[in-house]
Amino acid sequence: MADTVKTFPDLDALARHLRERLEEKKSILLFAYNGTGKTRLSMAFKDLGKKDESRDTLYFNAFTEDLFSWDNDLENDSERMLRMNTASRFFDGLAELEMESRIRSFLNRYADLNFDIDYETGRIRFWREMQENADGEEEPVLIKISRGEENIFIWCFFLAVAQLAIDGQEVYDWVQYIYIDDPISSLDENNAIAVATHLAQLIKGQNRIKVVISSHHTLFFNVVCNEMMTKNKKTQRYFLSHDSDGYHLRNTNNTPRFYHVAMLKELYEVAKSGNLYTYHFTVLRSIMEKTATFHGFNNIGEIIKSESDDQDGTLHYRYVQLLSHGNYSLFEPVEMMEENKQIFRKILYDFMNNYRFNPELFPGSDTLEVIT
């Protein structure tokens, strides 16, 4: 069916429609610009599942962060810690489930942090280094993490809880739906691809729980779409808009996805600006892998331009492989050395010259060359 549009008078009606669609679909991906009502829609969806003391939706949105707050220990300036709002049912029954190891399995992908949780007091402490105290015992040097690190920790905390629900843990056996609204808004822009990929992997490998993901972030949304819709006809994609006539939900499953072009455009811009970080090699590798597959090649080495002293392109292929597989922190991106920036531009520009894209999207790309 061609793209169709349904209009709803309010968010409650729209939320009911999403629930009806999830009777047939496994997941819904919803793109909407800021100010459309995404977060309020997630709350309306959640509220429809509340009956007396029962509920059916585990959700992540702007309000999830409010479940955590900082105790800065202004009196002693030593015991800085994050506190959980233990009155929230979000934290019910977690003490017996070894949450630290569950959270750490997600957190280690993004940040180098150690932490522990006191479930009775709701205290979470963070550190990176240990020191010897007066009794000769090792103890952590407590730190207050940055706002960005706090956001990624809360996101990983949620993912660990979502994994419990997906696994059917008794304490979360009430969860029938997971609703995730704009996780990337709380996280660093550099994490968009990694967060989208990891999230899609978590969700598409299960069939127990229905999922809604909404976002205004184009790159994040397109990566999720690509990961979840490639071999999955149980995923429905929509574009949501709002005006004086109501909320308009457009079915966009038949609209081609251009996330690779969006990523390439981002790489082109940062290559010109010089703001190149190690993780950009990972993005480039992803684009080249998809291009190689489309053109029928076995690996990206076959689409990397060869030089006179490197006829088989081995050198640049090894650069891409090596620099895209480094154990880099996506949360604290490391800027490339100038030599690697030149190599990156060379590989990128050769790729764009060999596999021509719409020049209107890449101003100046018709004269691409690396200035050494």
Shared-domain flag, residues 268 and 322 = yes
Shared-domain flag, residues 317 and 299 = yes
Shared-domain flag, residues 350 and 284 = yes
Is residue 169 assigned to a domain? no
Beta bridge partners, 140, equal 130
Shared-domain flag, residues 279 and 363 = yes
Shared-domain flag, residues 92 and 48 = no
Q: Which residue do the tokens 């990961």 mark? A: 227
Shared-domain flag, residues 80 and 126 = yes
Q: Are 236 and 203 in contact (CB under 8 A)?
A: no
Shared-domain flag, residues 348 and 272 = yes
Q: Are 279 and 328 in contact (CB under 8 A)?
A: yes
Residue 96, domain extent: 65-148
Domain boundary among 223, 251, 279: 251
Shared-domain flag, residues 98 and 231 = no
HEC string of the chain equals CCCCEEEECCHHHHHHHHHHHCCCCCEEEEEECCCCCHHHHHHHHHHHCCECCECCEEEECCCHHHHEEEECCCCCCCCCEEEECCCCHHHCCCHHHCHHHHHHHHHCCCCCCEEEEECCCCEEEEEEEEEECCCCCEEEEECCCCHHHHHHHHHHHHHHHHHHHHCCCHHHCCCCEEEEECHHHHCCHHHHHHHHHHHHHHHHCCCCCEEEEEECCHHHHHHHHHHHHCCCCCEEEEEEEEECCEEEEEECCCCCCCHHHHHHHHHHHHHHHCCCECHHHHHHHHHHHHHHHHCCCCCHHHCCCCECCECCCHHHHHHHHHHHCCCCCCCCCCECCHHHHHHHHHHHHHHHHHCCCCHHHCCCHHHCCCCC
How far is residue 104's CA from residue 130's CA, in Å, rounded to a whole number?
18
Is residue 171 assigned to a domain? no
pTM for this one? Answer: 0.70
Domain boundary among 251, 286, 312: 251
CATH of the domain at 236: 3.40.50
Instruction: List the pLDDT tens digit at each of the 372 positions of the chain.
Output: 445 889 999 999 999 999 999 999 999 999 887 788 999 999 999 999 998 888 999 999 888 878 888 876 545 556 778 998 888 878 877 878 888 999 999 998 888 889 999 988 889 999 999 888 888 888 888 888 888 888 889 999 999 999 999 999 888 999 999 999 988 766 666 677 788 888 988 998 888 999 999 998 877 887 888 788 755 578 998 988 888 889 999 888 765 455 567 678 778 888 988 888 877 887 788 788 778 877 888 777 777 765 555 554 566 666 676 665 554 444 345 788 898 899 889 889 888 888 877 777 777 765 556 544
How far is residue 172's CA from residue 86's CA, in Å, rounded to a whole number?
16
Q: For Cα atoms 199, 238, 282, give the angle at the middle one, nearest 5 degrees.
A: 35
Shared-domain flag, residues 191 and 122 = no
Query: What tokens appear for 119 in the block?
Result: 């479930």
Number of compact structural domains in the chain? 3
